[in-house]
Amino acid sequence: MLRMYVVQQCFGFSDEGCEDAVYDSQAIRGFMGIDLGRESAPDATTLLRFRRLLETHQLTRLLFETINQHLASRGLLLKEGTIVDATLIAAPPSVKNREGKRDPEMHQARKGNQWHFGMKAHIGVDATSGLVHSVVGTAANVADVTQVGQLLHGDETYVSGDAGYTGAAKRPEHAERDVIWSIAARPSSYKQHGEGSVLYRVKRKIEYAKAQLRAKVEHPFQVIKVRFNHRKVRYRGLEKNTAQLFSLFGLANLMLAKRYLQQAAG
């Protein structure tokens, strides 16, 4: 059942779609170890019950932690620095459902000039390997800077983030942290010097270097949104969707670490 659940997460199948895929794809049957000549594939209801079991007992978090323990044993999680970031995941804004209303745990948030309805996935990423070590799910209107404390493991020497984390170092929960805060400056803070000034050019180069370091945090988001097709929430409520995020980012870590693991295997 766990392998069928993994297939569902990696391909973005519905419960019924995953059941059909098992019958349609020999590769999926091979991965699951199912011989249809000897046994039938688990049906959609069985997969639903298995997923609810994982959610109820917080086993997706355990799956995420177990994957990371395996990767850490291979030297892929060094814990020297953490990059923090968040991404919006859309939720259906329609009220055409059984309850006649939108999910009350989802909220609107503005990004640029557009408004989005849904939730946020906040992650803390190892600055060396780019692998996710911390995951938090919130409503979309929760400020990124308020979640930093839950994204740090406590052993890092520096923390990197975009301008959305401005002021993180001054928050009371971080008063005792002995880390270097490498937070992006807002463009308005150095544009005032004039684009032709030496100070402006120096500031731009510093911010460019910071951005290069932060780029690794985008890779896990790319995996879950593009490869796993997780652009919209699949369930109602933050608890179920956050539980799924642990599975998705755990599997994303395996995909991102594949190159390193293959090199280690020779």
Do 164 and 48 lie in a common domain?
no
Work out the burial of residue 104: count CB atoms within 10 Å of its CB; fewer than 13 is exposed, 13-18 middle, 19 or more buried: exposed
pLDDT for 92 equals 86
Q: Which of 149, 44, 127, 146 is nearest to 79 (CA)?
A: 127
Q: What is the pLDDT of residue 96?
A: 58
Q: Please tell me whether residues 140 and 258 are part of one structural domain.
A: yes
**117: which strand partners?**
108
Residue 67, in any domain of the structure: no
pLDDT tens, N- to C-terminus, the chain (266 residues): 999 999 999 999 999 999 999 999 999 999 999 999 999 999 999 999 999 999 999 999 999 999 999 999 988 988 899 999 999 999 987 765 666 678 899 999 988 788 899 999 999 999 999 999 999 999 999 999 999 999 999 999 999 999 999 999 999 999 999 999 999 988 777 777 777 788 888 888 998 999 999 999 999 999 999 999 999 999 999 999 999 999 999 999 999 998 777 776 66
For the record, the structure tokens of 172 come out as 């009371």
What is the DSSP secondary-structure string of 228-258? Answer: S--SB--SSSHHHHHHHHHHHHHHHHHHHHH
If asked whether residues 88 and 36 sit together in one domain, one would say: no
- What whole-number distance in Å separates Cα of residue 62 and Cα of residue 80? 23
- The CATH number covering residue 231 comes to 3.30.420
SS3 for 176? coil
- Is there a single domain that holds both residue 148 and residue 252? yes
Supply the range of the domain harboring residue 255: 79-265
Hey, which bits of 163-213 come out as E strands?
Answer: 180-183
Rounded Cα distance between 77 and 131, Å, is 7
Residues 222 and 81: their CA atoms lie apart, in Å, by: 21
Q: Is the pTM of this model over 0.85?
A: yes
Q: Are residues 139 and 224 in the same domain?
A: yes
Numbers of helices and strands, H then E, in the chain = 10, 6
Nearest by Cα to 17 from 8, 26, 25? 8
Q: How do residues 75-85 score in pLDDT, each as one tens digit? A: 898 889 999 99
Residue 62, domain member (yes or no)? no
Same domain (yes/no): 115, 162: yes
With beta carbons less than 8 A apart as the criterion, state whether 256 and 223 touch.
Answer: yes
What DSSP string runs through 86-149? EEEEE------SSSSS--TT-EEEEETTEEEEEEEEEEEEETTT--EEEEEEEETTS-GGGGHH
Domain count, the chain: 2
Domain match, 114 and 208 both: yes
**Residues 85 and 123: beta-carbon distance below 8 Å:** yes
Please give the pLDDT value at position 102.
84
Compute φ and ψ for 62, nearest 5 degrees.
-65, -40
